A and B are shown apart, each in its own frame.
Chain A
Amino acid sequence: MTRFATILLASTALASPALAEMLDVEKDELTLGFIKLTDMAPLAIAYEKHFFEDEGLYVTLEPQANWKVLLDRVISGELDGAHMLAGQPLAATIGYGTKAHIVTPFSMDLNGNAITVSNEVWAAMKPAIPVGADGKPEHPVSAAALKPVIEEFRARGETFNMGMVFPVSTHNYELRYWLAAGGINPGFYSPEDVSGQISADAFLSVTPPPQMPATLEAGTINGYAVGEPWNQQAVLKGIGVPVITDIEIWKNNPEKVFGLTADFVEANPNTTLALTKALIRAAEWLDAEGNANRAEAVEILSRSEYVGADAEVIANSMTGSFEYEPGDRRAVPDFNVFFRYNATYPFYSDAIWTLTQMRRWGQIEAAQPDGWYAETAAAVYKPAIYLEAARMLVDEGLADAADFPWDSDGYKPATAEFIDGIPYDGRTPNAYLDSLPIGLKADQRVIGRDVQG
């Protein structure tokens, strides 16, 4: 049905506004922001496939210099909405960094990140990594293999530095999760010291995604966590080796969201629905027919106005394979997931996982009751808007009712599909925090250079 409708739209070109009852949008000219990363794809596809237009929206897509600028411009109203790190709306709403009430009715994708280390570090890690029957390193690679390398660095009087894209980025939390699961302390934040390097074994700092490979090459950092195409770029340039993808750290973890201010959503409810409808269709298109459209998506994304990287590099991850060591190319069909597994539904439990990691590493300085986590998630994640948009698409014959979790209460079932196998249940964040190996627990706080309590 969806496929038929798509063909109908394409062949009758501009007849589409007559197909369905159009939403009476409060604002029909919108400027949306993004960062040059593969996972901005739903925005590019909604634009190129005319899904925005089908909702009566004239949209301008504008690349932004970095995540902070992007958030500031959404808050100021220069941008009506943007591609955001899942942690950004949550951090802004609880006032970590710039304070502003940001909400999301649409989750943009799952997975899509990896951790890359320099060739030198990889060579030093390799002896500690078991080799499989095929003669290749066994996956997933544990950070335990990195621990002796960091100790060698320390013995030489050098710090072991790693790049991540933003203090409240999924990359920061995934990198920290992986390091901690291997017995490496990635450092704490405190209200006085926001470097995130208190008590650290590995020193993490912010580097903008497109600059990761060059910063690694320069030796300023020894590894990094970033989205595509910046891990595959390191392989192509021969300057580093991806050691693990984030799907192996936490299977089907939430990555980007589409963020808007609460004020915008309140003042423009129909526009918000229209945007959500267009984005759901774009995500559906990206995953349709077993990723059949991905090659076309790669061509679109490679254009300078979107990601502006080599199509070959973008294609690596987008078309279901991932290259680790040069030549060690493995199938990772779910490296980028845009629609299947209810990827676009904004789950409260995903928001709460991010909040637990903010608490674990001290960005949230003091303990909060479980109820606070649930309330914060509900203030930011808006599944009701998502389902209303999905219902309209189903009624218009543009989406399949079977693809949406109509009866979900916003919490995914508990899962232990993490690299260390520790179960996570979004309903009990404090019990979860207590179960994690390194990190703040119960009433602990970071005072000065120490964890106390």
Chain B
Amino acid sequence: MTQPLRILVIQHDPARADMLTDALRQAGETEVMILPSDSRLASRIKELGPDLVLIDLANPSRDALEELTLASSPADRPVAMFVDRSDPALTRAAVEAGVSAYVVDGIRPDRIRAVLDAALARFHMFQKLRTELDATRAALEQRKIIDRAKGVLMRARGISEDEAYALMRRAAMERGRKIADVAAAIVTASELLQ
């Protein structure tokens, strides 16, 4: 990693926070920031824009776990959670809330970098899948609209499917619009005219 990793630690026990900071500094090129878990957490995290959020909870409640995870925006950045104790329900809640790494049994300084690297890799993989899924969904939605618009034109003008598509493509290029936008306009207009 060429850029230092900007890590935000959320922790309210100062002694544990110092231990964590030392462990992170020894683990490699990092910039460590520490925040207490107060009510302004979500907006502070957003301002700081860290590469990774590390949440250290000695003994989490389900509510605290979900609240902290949510405040860290696990869809925007990797969130790693270290807890001393957990149970299967809590573990599931953490994963469902979107944490990229959930480590039970506290922090081992010599292992911390490996855990964070894994959290980063896992986050980036999920983010890529999520982007692809969004793009595929959008493409599918566009395809449906284009097919419906083609149908409208084929019935209205008695033309073939290829001709209907070419007609939309021309209309789009002449107006500097996307084909899907022209198709959506055709579908909307045909609904209004029915």
Contact = CB atoms under 8 A, between A and B. Distances in A.
Interface of A: 14-18, 29, 47, 50, 52-53, 58-60, 305
A392 to B, nearest CB: 19
Interface string B150-172: 00000000000011001101101
B163 A29 contact: no
Nearest to A54: B166
Given A16-B166, A18-B163, 19 more contacts: A14-B163, A14-B170, A17-B162, A17-B163, A29-B179, A47-B173, A50-B170, A52-B173, A53-B166, A53-B169, A53-B170, A53-B173, A58-B169, A58-B172, A58-B173, A58-B179, A59-B173, A60-B176, A305-B176
A130 B170 CA distance: 56
Interface residues of B, number: 10
A17 B166 contact: yes
Contacts of B162: 17-18
Interface of B: 162-163, 166-167, 169-170, 172-173, 176, 179
A50 B167 CA distance: 12
25 contacts: A14-B163, A14-B166, A14-B167, A14-B170, A15-B163, A17-B162, A17-B163, A17-B166, A18-B162, A18-B163, A29-B179, A47-B173, A50-B170, A52-B173, A53-B166, A53-B169, A53-B170, A53-B173, A58-B169, A58-B172, A58-B173, A58-B179, A59-B173, A60-B176, A305-B176
Nearest to A29: B179
B175 to A, nearest CB: 12
Contacts of A52: 173
B179 to A, nearest CB: 6
Contacts of A18: 162-163
A305 B82 CA distance: 56
Contacts of B170: 14, 50, 53
A18 B160 CA distance: 10
B157 to A, nearest CB: 10
A47 B175 CA distance: 12
A17 B163 CA distance: 8
A47 B167 CA distance: 15
A52 B170 CA distance: 10
Contacts of A50: 170
A53 B163 CA distance: 12
Contacts of A58: 169, 172-173, 179
Nearest to B177: A60
A132 B179 CA distance: 59
Contacts of A59: 173
B170 to A, nearest CB: 6
Nearest to B163: A14
A58 B162 CA distance: 14
Contacts of B163: 14-15, 17-18
The 6 closest A-B pairs by CB, nearest first: A14-B166, A58-B169, A17-B166, A17-B162, A14-B163, A14-B167
A60 B173 CA distance: 7
A17 B176 CA distance: 21
Contacts of B179: 29, 58
Contacts of A17: 162-163, 166
Contacts of A60: 176
Contacts of A14: 163, 166-167, 170
Contacts of B176: 60, 305
A227 to B, nearest CB: 25
Contacts of B173: 47, 52-53, 58-59
A52 B179 CA distance: 14
The residue in A14, A16, A52 that gathers the most chain B C-beta atoms within 10 A of its C-beta is A14
A29 B179 CA distance: 9
Nearest to A28: B169
A104 B152 CA distance: 41
A200 to B, nearest CB: 37
Nearest to B164: A14
A58 B146 CA distance: 14
Contacts of A15: 163
Contacts of B172: 58
A14 B162 CA distance: 10
A305 B174 CA distance: 12
A29 B173 CA distance: 11
B173 to A, nearest CB: 6
A50 B173 CA distance: 9
A420 to B, nearest CB: 47
Nearest to A15: B163
A58 B183 CA distance: 14
Contacts of A53: 166, 169-170, 173
A17 B179 CA distance: 17
B192 to A, nearest CB: 25
Q: Which of B162, B163, B167, B173 has the most CB of A within 10 A?
A: B173
Contacts of B169: 53, 58
A14 B160 CA distance: 11
A192 to B, nearest CB: 24
A60 B169 CA distance: 11
A60 B180 CA distance: 14
